[in-house]
Amino acid sequence: MDHLQTTEMKLRAALGKAAPIALTTDFDLHPELRPSNPKLRDAAVLVPIQRENDGWSVILTKRSSALKHHPGQIAFPGGKVDKSDGTTLNAALREANEEIGLPLGSVEILGALPQHQTITSFMVTPYVGLITDPFEPRREIGEVAEIFTVPLKHLLDTNSFQIQGRRWNGQDRKYFTVPYGPYYIWGATARMLRMLAHVMEQSDAN
């Protein structure tokens, strides 16, 4: 069995049997700032994993600098749940189709990570999926500035993650980052990736 198959088996095992874990939030490093009774809206993202060269990679996007919310930030394909979606999974798949051109039938969902509460009052459900058929990524003009990949090996290494900080709205704020080359991956995206690494780590330990 080669390392590609080994990693795939570990992903399937970890996401298939993972015990429920408390949700993550943008306030994990500052619990004192977490709202006590927020009104949250449902959202969903896809963590798309594909074979690339001799390994597995995660597809990420760089948001357009023209967007009103989170311009230029690194994100998973995803967004808010529309009434027509019916489920959070349908929303994640629809958004992936719109944002990166991923055909709806070309991904196998392995499972979901714990939900993530954002500072912008969204409750995000992250779905991890293996891309089963080759496809040519196509960015959504006006929404996505760039589509790129990061080796899964880098993202599953907990040593790749850092805690950094800056002053925001008069307060010192800390957040997770997982830099890769020219890409500064931080905030909710980095936190959800850190949870993926944690789930895999816990599965290996058991």
Q: Which distant-in-sequence residues (6+ apart) come within 8 Å of 140 by Cβ?
A: 98, 99, 100
Q: What percent of the chain stands above pLDDT 90? A: 67
Instruction: Please report where in the chains the tokens 């390994």 appear, as a residue.
Output: 55
126-142 per-position pLDDT tens digit = 999 999 998 999 999 98
Among 46, 75, 50, CA closest to 62: 75
Annotated domain spans of the chain: 3-205
CB distance 125 to 188 below 8 Å = no
Instruction: Give the homologous superfamily in CATH for domain 3-205.
Output: Nucleoside Triphosphate Pyrophosphohydrolase (3.90.79.10)
140-183 per-position pLDDT tens digit = 998 899 999 999 999 999 999 999 987 776 777 889 999 999 99
Residue 178 is classified by DSSP as: -
Check: pTM over 0.85? Answer yes or no. yes
58-112 per-position pLDDT tens digit = 999 998 766 666 667 899 999 999 999 999 999 999 999 999 999 999 999 999 9
Element (H, E) at 44: strand 41-52
